[in-house]
């Protein structure tokens, strides 16, 4: 038997080598999957949805993380709330559907009923002695930032969400995503560990061979390169691009739109990265030719050439353009299965077939997500093979992968695994 299959989690963490991928058990072992769920999807803030997905009072969205089930809902005052999907009587699950709309939350077991604030409003035959005020639904830590919904299941949520809310809220404000319209929601299951899904997203080293649609809007050298492997002409071209990009960022900043890179990796409880990039092609959006897919721009924006504002967290990646937004997040289902949910948002008044063509709006990231799922599949097959051993990461193209893994190891250490 491979020693990695019997090594303790603490031993595996202790022997992690910076600049390399993780040992196989981090991607394959059931006990490590359980630790990941507890540490990274219960005790850290995760992106869990968008408010535009529950636009009306009574709209409910269910989110399952392992055996924990959460309800996101819109109350009668239009506030977004999060509760455990557990009746306070004998623990039955309240809502089984992924998405529904209700006036009250009624337990199907004994019909205990809760209003949209989570208060218990009906519990027959329980006697006058029972204090209904003590038996409302258990709330979950929630923070809405610019129309994005973040959750932390653990009661002791990391406090750095306040800094992230300030930084990200200012950047998302012009898009008015809370009033956007969901043009499409697409869920796929990737046959791989959630960390492989994230690491795949954190680099574009693979893009040239895998993402022809996406590359139409990417500036090639933004992907990273070894200067010893390119000629002087290419280096000069990259220098000019950097100067142009820096000037454009200065223009956006001068207009009151924060755009410079902000990164929280090692030393931070909540992994977070945001930066606004220029777009190649027509320079407007992630479409085949780079031109805007929707005529009605988001929020208060008036210029379609507003770049691509990236957002990364440890379970999500999103792109915000002037004409639409593409927001993706993952939830682990098993050591070798990961759910990827993606939502496309457009202006609330935009009409399909009039203001935007559905296929044109969605084709780049529909293709990219499936291509990435195929890559994650073969990566999982590889790490599960006896021939796998951790491999070196490129110092030019995979620095974000390296920092992502280093943050992961650091957070495991903070939660009692390793030195």
Considering the domain architecture, whether residues 138 and 182 belong to the same structural domain is answered as no
- Answer for the pair 115, 107: CB distance below 8 angstroms, yes or no: no
CATH code of the domain covering residue 112: 2.102.10.10
Q: Which ranges constitute the DSSP H helices of 255-307?
A: none
Task: Determine the structural domain holding residue 327 and report its residue range.
Answer: 160-415
Considering the domain architecture, whether residues 177 and 140 belong to the same structural domain is answered as no
Q: What is the DSSP letter of 161?
A: H
Compute the residue count for the chain.
Answer: 419
Residue 12 lies in a domain: no
Considering the domain architecture, whether residues 135 and 168 belong to the same structural domain is answered as no
Residue 6 has pLDDT above 60, yes or no: no
Considering the domain architecture, whether residues 189 and 240 belong to the same structural domain is answered as yes
Q: What is the mean pLDDT of residues 354-367?
A: 98
- Answer for the pair 52, 182: CB distance below 8 angstroms, yes or no: yes
**Which tens digit of pLDDT belongs to each residue from 312-351?**
999 999 999 999 999 999 999 999 999 999 999 999 999 9
What confidence tier does 222 reach under pLDDT thresholds 50, 70, 90?
Answer: low
- Answer for the pair 305, 245: CB distance below 8 angstroms, yes or no: no
Q: How far apart are CA 27 and CA 209, in angstroms?
A: 24
Collapsing DSSP to helix, strand or coil, 313 comes out as strand
Residue 26 lies in a domain: no
Partners of residue 275 on adjacent β-strands: 310
* CA nearest neighbour of 258 among 211, 290, 306: 306
Q: What is the mean pLDDT of residues 184-206?
A: 97
pLDDT at 76: 97
- Answer for the pair 283, 290: CB distance below 8 angstroms, yes or no: yes
Q: Is the dihedral of CA 386, 388, 389, 390 positive or negative?
A: negative
Q: What is the mean pLDDT of residues 293-315?
A: 97
Considering the domain architecture, whether residues 277 and 362 belong to the same structural domain is answered as yes
Collapsing DSSP to helix, strand or coil, 262 comes out as strand
Residue 237 has pLDDT above 70, yes or no: yes
Q: What is the DSSP letter of 20?
A: B
Residue 42 lies in a domain: no
Considering the domain architecture, whether residues 332 and 390 belong to the same structural domain is answered as yes
- Give the max Cα distance, the chain: 84
Considering the domain architecture, whether residues 392 and 293 belong to the same structural domain is answered as yes
Residue 194 lies in a domain: yes
Residue 324 lies in a domain: yes
pLDDT at 2: 47
Q: Last residue of a domain, which of 144, 179, 197? A: 144
Contacts (Cβ under 8 Å, ≥6 apart) of 61: 49, 53, 54, 71, 72, 73, 98, 99
Residue 238 has pLDDT above 90, yes or no: no
Q: Which ranges constitute the DSSP H helices of 7-99?
A: 9-14, 25-28, 30-41
Considering the domain architecture, whether residues 63 and 129 belong to the same structural domain is answered as yes
Q: How far apart are CA 219 and CA 240, in angstroms?
A: 12
Q: How far apart are CA 9 and CA 80, in angstroms?
A: 38
Residue 315 lies in a domain: yes
- Answer for the pair 217, 290: CB distance below 8 angstroms, yes or no: yes
Collapsing DSSP to helix, strand or coil, 175 comes out as helix
pTM of full prediction above 0.85: yes
CB atoms within 10 A of CB 233: 8
Residue 340 lies in a domain: yes
- Answer for the pair 325, 318: CB distance below 8 angstroms, yes or no: yes
pLDDT at 241: 80
**Which tens digit of pLDDT belongs to each residue from 374-396?**
999 999 999 999 999 999 999 99
CATH code of the domain covering residue 261: 3.90.380.10
Considering the domain architecture, whether residues 131 and 174 belong to the same structural domain is answered as no
Q: What is the side-by-side order of every strand in the sheet holding 308-313?
A: 181-190, 337-346, 325-334, 316-320, 308-313, 272-277, 262-264
Considering the domain architecture, whether residues 172 and 140 belong to the same structural domain is answered as no
Number of domains in the chain: 2
pLDDT at 89: 98
Residue 50 has pLDDT above 60, yes or no: yes
Q: Last residue of a domain, which of 144, 168, 189? A: 144
**Which tens digit of pLDDT belongs to each residue from 36-47?**
999 999 999 999
pLDDT at 1: 37
What is the percent of the chain where pLDDT is above 90?
A: 89
Considering the domain architecture, whether residues 327 and 210 belong to the same structural domain is answered as yes
Element (DSSP H or E) covering residue 319: strand 316-320
Residue 265 lies in a domain: yes
* CA nearest neighbour of 181 among 320, 348, 381, 377: 348
CB atoms within 10 A of CB 301: 18
Work out the angle between the directed axes of helices 194-201 and 358-383 (0-180°, nearest 10): 120
Considering the domain architecture, whether residues 286 and 139 belong to the same structural domain is answered as no
Assign residue 407 a region (left: φ > 0; alpha: ψ between -120 and 50; beta: otherwise): alpha
Q: Last residue of a domain, which of 115, 144, 173? A: 144
**Which tens digit of pLDDT belongs to each residue from 123-155?**
999 998 889 999 999 999 999 999 999 999 999
What DSSP letter does each residue of 150-200 carry, written as one string? Answer: EEE-SSS--TTHHHHHHHHHHHHGGG-GGG-EEEEEEEEEESS-HHHHHHH
pLDDT at 220: 63
Q: What is the mean pLDDT of residues 278-299?
A: 96
């Amino acid at each position: 038997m491979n020693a990695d299959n019997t090594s303790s989690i603490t031993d595996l963490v202790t022997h992690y080598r910076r600049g390399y991928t993780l040992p196989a058990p981090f991607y394959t072992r059931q006990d490590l999957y359980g630790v990941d769920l507890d540490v990274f999807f219960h005790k850290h803030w995760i992106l869990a949805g968008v408010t535009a997905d529950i636009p009306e009072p009574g709209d409910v969205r269910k989110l399952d993380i392992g055996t924990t089930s959460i309800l996101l809902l819109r109350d009668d005052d239009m506030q977004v709330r999060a509760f455990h999907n557990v009746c306070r009587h004998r623990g039955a699950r309240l809502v089984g559907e992924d998405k529904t709309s209700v006036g009250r939350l009624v337990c199907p077991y004994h019909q205990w009923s809760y209003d949209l604030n989570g208060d218990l409003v009906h519990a027959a035959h329980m006697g006058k002695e029972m204090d209904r005020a003590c038996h409302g639904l258990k709330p979950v830590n929630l923070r809405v930032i610019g129309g994005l919904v973040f959750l932390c299941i653990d009661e002791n949520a990391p406090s750095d969400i306040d800094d992230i809310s300030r930084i990200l809220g200012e950047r998302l404000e012009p898009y008015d995503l809370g009033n956007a319209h969901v043009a499409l929601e697409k869920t796929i299951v990737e046959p791989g560990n959630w960390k492989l899904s994230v690491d795949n997203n954190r680099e574009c080293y693979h893009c040239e061979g895998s993402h022809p649609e996406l590359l139409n809007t990417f500036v090639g050298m933004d992907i990273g390169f070894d200067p010893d492997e390119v000629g002087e002409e290419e280096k000069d071209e990259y220098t000019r691009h950097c100067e142009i990009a820096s000037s454009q960022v200065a223009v956006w900043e001068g207009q009151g739109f924060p755009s410079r890179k902000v990164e929280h990796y090692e030393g931070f409880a909540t992994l977070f990265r945001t930066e606004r990039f220029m777009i190649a092609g027509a320079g407007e959006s992630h479409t085949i030719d780079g031109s805007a897919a929707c005529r009605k721009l988001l929020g208060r924006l008036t210029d379609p050439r507003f770049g691509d504002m990236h957002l990364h967290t440890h379970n999500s990646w999103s792109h915000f353009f002037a004409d639409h937004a593409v927001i993706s997040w993952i939830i682990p289902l098993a050591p070798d299965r990961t759910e990827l949910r993606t939502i496309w948002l457009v202006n609330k008044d935009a009409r399909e077939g009039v203001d935007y063509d559905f296929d044109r709006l969605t084709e780049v990231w529909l293709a990219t997500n499936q291509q990435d799922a195929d890559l994650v599949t073969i990566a999982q097959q590889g790490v599960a093979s006896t021939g796998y051993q951790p491999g070196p990461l490129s110092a030019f193209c995979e620095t974000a992968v390296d920092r992502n893994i280093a943050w992961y190891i650091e957070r495991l250490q903070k939660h009692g695994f390793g030195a």
